[in-house]
Amino acid sequence: MKIRSFMAVTIQLMVAMCASGQDHRGRGAAADDYLSHLPRSLRLQENRPHRYLFTCDYYYLDTLGNLTRKERVTGEYTRGLPQGKARFRQARA
């Protein structure tokens, strides 16, 4: 009798877990759309060029997850140049 009730509870639990699964197919497309453009209400002040210094750290791992090397890349990004152009300068690793 205990085995039967245990099996019944297990099956009910499995069915409940499967039935409560959510459909995530549309989430990736929504995130891509959200990140592909600025909000409509945002107004940029582009009356002069804006300069940004950026730093990116890259970590290289082997197939077991062990760190094999690190690399830091820095550079200067300028946007808002004439004709809507942008420029990268002084990029170095």
pLDDT of residue 61: 95
pLDDT tens digits, 42-89: 887 778 899 999 999 999 999 999 999 999 999 999 988 888 889 999
Region of residue 11 (phi > 0: left; psi between -120 and 50: alpha; otherwise: beta): alpha
In angstroms, the CA 52 to CA 78 distance is 6
pLDDT tens digits, 14-50: 666 666 555 555 566 777 777 788 788 888 777 889 9
DSSP letters of 25-90? TTHHHHHHHHHTS--TT-----SS-EEEEEEEEEEEE-TTS-EEEEEEEEEEEEE--GGG-EEEEE
Regarding pTM above 0.85, the answer is: no
Using alpha carbons only, how large is the chain's radius of gyration in Å? 26
